[in-house]
Structure 1
Amino acid sequence: MLTIGLLREGKVPADNRVALTPAQGKWIQKNAPGVRVLAQSSPDRCYTDREYTSAGVEVTDDLSNCDVLLGIKEVTPDALIAGKTYLFFSHTKKEQPYNQRMFRTILDKKITLIDYECLEHDDGQRILGFGFFAGVVGAHNGIMAYGKRTGLYQLGRVHQQQSLRELIHTYFGLRLPEIKVAVTGSGRVAHGVLEVMNLLEIVEVEPDEFLERNFSYPVFTQLKGAALYGRIKDGGYQREDFHQRPQDYRCKFLPYTLTADILMNGIYWDRDMPRLFEWEDLARPEFRIATIADITDDREGSVPCNLGDTPISDPVYGVDKTTRLRTGPYLPGSIDMMAVGNLPNELPRDASRYFGEQLIKHVLDPLVRGGSPIIERATMVREGRADDAV
């Protein structure tokens, strides 16, 4: 018997997403012989304890008898149980300093850590993630913020809706002005952004049209790959080469800062990658972008004026273009930043349902059978030894 436990999220503020919904827990217990699912009692989940109990999933405070423990965000060091196998987003892949204590505790307690972020197909495509819903919520918030800055239209908050379906209904009858939106990236985040662009009837145009023309209706352009980066020596672009040697490339985004009103940033960024623009560019009078939705949310990363996370309750702050200091939003001389670190929490049920479907489809069977190449590659720590992980 393999017992899977669904962890109560311990970070503050609490994350309300889940790895498996009640219906998915019920399905596993019915269709995967020898697998049992328990849910740790939680007052914060988007699905209540009663919903799990009604689905036949036992709710308990004690998960010490579980073999595999599934969470979403990092587990606090004091809550880690020795000798267990954990799956969650550890945020240690980039050696983030704020999670070093947790990682050391994992080693000391001889825990096996499988990181969702590292679960990939053979071609490197990530299997699990909430990127699509981050893109949906981030794009909505970016459009909302621009409306608040200009006073030209009004959009409500995503978290006030119960589902994506309800959110879509709030778009009916909304007429946007002649805004120009630059979208960066090509992954799940960008797909979520494009979904909102289409729902809001913002028309896609080619990058050169975006730079050269004015339009009588709202438009966006998507920038990725060769449209966004080029080798310094010859202007060429090759995806694998870029990811192996990003320092050999320059970013082509700067002209779009002169023509776009809103930036929806959905690119993966690492410290050796060129930024979209620099502080000096932001301070120039011709810099036109007024609102940035930094959906991938790397502090001082591809967008230098990302000065840190904002909470769902207050998602937008300003950055003074001259002093580079954080201010209130929507002020003259500032640019508005939307940099929420847990955007999918605004649509937690939809996001959790999708995540659980992918978990069941691609990860459950290898876990039950005791491993697979996919699981091996995502194992960051094996029984307390990081050097034994593949």
Structure 2
Amino acid sequence: HETITKENGVRLVAFGRYAGIVGAYNGIRTYGLKFDRYELPKAETLADQQALIDELNKITLPALKIVLTGMGRVSNGAKEILDAMGITEVSVSEYLNNTYNEPVYVQLDVLDYNKRKDGKIIDMYDFFKNPSEYLSDFMRFAKVSDLYIACHFYDDAAPYLFTKDDAKHPDFKIKVVADISCDIDGPVASTLRASTIDNPNYGYDPQTEREADFKDQNAIAVMAVDNLPCELPKDASDGFGENFSKYVIPAFFNGDKDGILDRALTTRNGQLTSGFKYLQDYVDGNE
């Protein structure tokens, strides 16, 4: 289904929204467990998104600062949860400079947490085209945040959001990371491995750079489940089916006027189609 896209490459059917919904819930659940403030049931035991929201609205959060990276389906799914809890969204400037007596969150785009090495300010398309020309500027958020919900897309040429050395810095304040993106040993230093639905949490000790008990005072609590939509199967299946019915099924009956099926076709007459020529070396046995 990942090859079923719009002309600009954006997927038409995907589970990302539900990963964001469950990931945000799990992140808030992890915070409560780490600091023994409250206990939430596992998402997999609840019927649907509304049931998750109902449980979240039974708890009272302290004056947390929550940083959310990404502007796509995953991040917007996480945002749905934060908004449903009535958590106030603030601007980057407000988040960095103000103190609050209530929980708040900020949603960051790529240029909020990356900056060009030469100091120029261009646009996000320059970042996507030239990620190696950028440095991470995430540390300014790490110094004032309690909970980090990672929903960004990461390119191998892009800078890490925070490194192992960053996590050692005395000003590094984040104590809970819900890494929905779940890139192992990569842009989020605390993500040593994927976790599971059965055991969603582990700790990362910045000083030893090793796994620890997530409740340990010095540990960053990590939630890095990599199949989050499975915890919300009914909603995820309904959402996938709705988009498939809306965008894909009509293409079988309208002559594929928008090219949806053609773009998704991997082979034709025994040959790779133009969009999949990058696989030719595998077909030829060279890789």
User: Normalising by structure 2, what TM-score?
Assistant: 0.89
Distance in 2 (CA, whole Å) between partners of 1:199 and 1:256 is: 23
- Pick one of 135, 138, 151 that aligns with 1:266: 151
Whichever residue aligns with residue 131 of structure 1, its letter is: G
Matched, 1:307 2:192: yes
**Cα distance, 1:383 vs. partner?**
6.1
**Cα distance, 1:185 vs. partner?**
0.3
**Cα distance, 1:370 vs. partner?**
7.1
**Cα distance, 1:292 vs. partner?**
0.5
Whichever residue aligns with residue 246 of structure 1, its letter is: P
Q: Describe the SS at the equivalent of 1:277.
A: coil
Q: Describe the SS at the equivalent of 2:2.
A: helix
Q: Describe the SS at the equivalent of 2:226.
A: coil
Alignment of 1:281-360 (within 5 A): 281-360=166-245
Contact persistence 1:153–1:176 (CA under 8 A): no
**Cα distance, 1:381 vs. partner?**
4.3
Contact persistence 2:265–2:273 (CA under 8 A): no
Whichever residue aligns with residue 112 of structure 2, its letter is: A
Distance in 1 (CA, whole Å) between partners of 2:267 and 2:172 is: 46
Which position in structure 2 is the counterpart of 1:24? none
Whichever residue aligns with residue 217 of structure 2, its letter is: P
Q: Describe the SS at the equivalent of 1:352.
A: helix
Which position in structure 1 is the counterpart of 2:139? 254
- Per-residue CA deviation, residues 237-285 of structure 1 (Å, 9 max, x unaligned), is 3222221211112222111111000000110012101111111010122
- Pick one of 44, 50, 58 that aligns with 1:165: 50
Contact persistence 1:225–1:237 (CA under 8 A): no
Matched, 1:378 2:264: yes
Deviates more, 1:262-271 or 1:317-326: 317-326
Q: Describe the SS at the equivalent of 1:117.
A: coil
Distance in 2 (CA, whole Å) between partners of 1:338 and 1:137 is: 11
Distance in 2 (CA, whole Å) between partners of 1:354 and 1:193 is: 16
Q: Structure 1 385/235 Cα, relative in aligned 2: closer, same or farther at 3 Å? A: same
Alignment of 1:56-135 (within 5 A): 116-135=1-20
Q: Describe the SS at the equivalent of 1:336.
A: strand
Matched, 1:238 2:238: no
Matched, 1:174 2:59: yes
Q: Structure 1 388/217 Cα, relative in aligned 2: closer, same or farther at 3 Å? A: closer
What percent of counterpart residues are identical?
Answer: 33
Gaps of 5+ in 2: 277-287
Distance in 1 (CA, whole Å) between partners of 2:271 and 2:196 is: 35
**Which protein shows a greater Rg?**
1
How many residues align structurally?
275
Give RMSD over aligned pairs.
1.9
User: Normalising by structure 1, what TM-score?
Assistant: 0.67
Gaps of 5+ in 1: 1-115
Distance in 1 (CA, whole Å) between partners of 2:165 and 2:275 is: 43
Distance in 2 (CA, whole Å) between partners of 1:384 and 1:254 is: 50
Contact persistence 2:167–2:189 (CA under 8 A): no
- Per-residue CA deviation, residues 146-180 of structure 1 (Å, 9 max, x unaligned), is 11111222222111111112222223332111111
Q: Describe the SS at the equivalent of 1:288.
A: coil
Contact persistence 2:25–2:52 (CA under 8 A): no
